[in-house]
Amino acid sequence: MGAPNPWFSWAYVQANRDDITTALTQHVLLTVEAVAIAALVALPLALVAFRHPRLSGLVIGTSGVLYTVPSLALFAVLYPVLRDRRTTVLVGLVVYALLVLVRNVLVGLRGVDPAVTDAARGLGQSPGRILFTVQLPNALPSVVVGLRLATVSTVALVTIGVVVGYGGLGQLMYRGFTSLYRAEIVTATVLTLAVALVADVLLWLAGRLATPWARGRR
């Protein structure tokens, strides 16, 4: 290999600005969409599991089993059925994010101090009202932790989408790999880490804003 193979090249970034922007947008959109859908599905699922303890064993068990399935295998099974690259990756990402979220929402709901729930019941609140005004707000810190965890792992997981040819920044990594060009792989990797970091900080901030009462505790 006589040609120079730098770890980073500004010239590469400038020459490939469009490709990088496309991959980055694809990556961010996939992540946001996947986590949003997962959150919408996870909340009612966790609530049902919380209300019916018998179901919660089933939900936790199933999610544990599904979580063990590697992403490559999941994409492999989904793609031939769905026949759409974007949908395949999106559905796979939603499944994994869903599992993390359901678990964390359940943990949060279960961790609510029974004395607080009792107090609300003593004030004559209905179960529904207790859920929305006492239990869910108290579970919020745990939900935020789940959201952060799900988002960060989703960002990393998007790259596996290269097996079906829709992997956001992973696509750039793969191109860099096939041409053995380091700068492209490293640029895509650093951008992936940056996306994860920014998302994590944003969610952390949102969590702090949403739970002003929890700030003093830590």
Partner 1 sequence: MNGNGVLAQTLRWLNDPLNWQGPHGVPALTVEHLGMSAAAVLIAAVVALPLGVWLGHRPRGGGLTVVASNTSRALPTLALLFIFATTGLGFGNRPTVLAAALFAMPPILSHAFTGVREVDPAARDAAGGMGMSAARVLGTVELPLALPLIGAGLRTAAVQVVATVPLAALVGGGGLGTIIVTGFATQRYGQVVAGGILVAALCLAVEAVLAFGQRVLTPRPMRAVAVGR
Residues 6+ apart with CB under 8 A from 126: none
User: By CB under 8 A, is residue 32 in contact with partner 1?
Assistant: no
User: By CB under 8 A, is residue 54 in contact with partner 1?
Assistant: no
Footprint of partner 1 on 83-142 (CB under 8 A): 83
User: By CB under 8 A, is residue 35 in contact with partner 1?
Assistant: no
**Minimum distance of partner 1 from residue 186's CB (angstroms):** 7
CA–CA distances in Å: residue 176 to residues 18, 69, 163, 164, 185: 16, 28, 15, 17, 5
d(CA 107, CA 129): 20
Tokens of 164: 């079906």
Which of residues 180, 202, 205, 206 is near partner 1 by CB under 8 A? 180
d(CA 69, CA 169): 23
d(CA 149, CA 68): 16
**Minimum distance of partner 1 from residue 188's CB (angstroms):** 7
Task: Tell me the window of 46-54, 55-63, 108-116, 177-185 that interacts with partner 1 (CB under 8 A).
Answer: 177-185
| Residue closest to 199 by CA, chosen among 19, 29, 20 | 29
Footprint of partner 1 on 150-169 (CB under 8 A): 152-153, 155-157, 159-160, 162-164
**Minimum distance of partner 1 from residue 149's CB (angstroms):** 8
CB neighbours (10 Å) of residue 104? 23
Footprint of partner 1 on 58-77 (CB under 8 A): 65, 68-77
- Collapsing DSSP states into helix, strand and coil, what is residue 4? coil
Task: Tell me the window of 13-21, 40-48, 185-193, 202-210 that interacts with partner 1 (CB under 8 A).
Answer: 185-193
